[in-house]
Amino acid sequence: MKGIRGVFAATLILESIVVLLSLLVLSKFGEGATAGGLTAIVGLALAMIVASGLQRRSWGLALALALQVAMIACGLLVPVLGALGVVFGLVWIGLLLFRREVARRMERGELPSQQR
Q: How far apart are CA 21 and CA 7, in angstroms?
A: 21
HSE-up of residue 78 (Cα within 13 Å, Cβ side): 29
* pLDDT tens digit sequence for 59-76: 999 999 999 999 999 888
Name the domain count of the chain: 1
* pLDDT tens digit sequence for 17-47: 999 998 888 777 666 677 888 898 999 999 9
Range of 55's domain? 2-109
54 found inside a domain? yes
115 found inside a domain? no
Q: How far apart are CA 16 and CA 19, in angstroms?
A: 5
Q: What per-residue confidence (pLDDT) applies to 29?
A: 66
When pLDDT is averaged across residues 42-62 and rounded to a whole number, the result is 95
37 found inside a domain? yes
Q: What per-residue confidence (pLDDT) applies to 30?
A: 61
Q: What is the 3-state secondary structure (H, E, C) of the chain?
A: CHHHHHHHHHHHHHHHHHHHHHHHCHHHCCCCCCHHHHHHHHHHHHHHHHHHHCCCCCCHHHHHHHHHHHHHHHHHCCHHHHHHHHHHHHHHHHHHHHHHHHHHHHHHCCCHHHCC
pTM above 0.75, yes or no: yes
116 found inside a domain? no
CB atoms within 10 A of CB 15: 26
114 found inside a domain? no
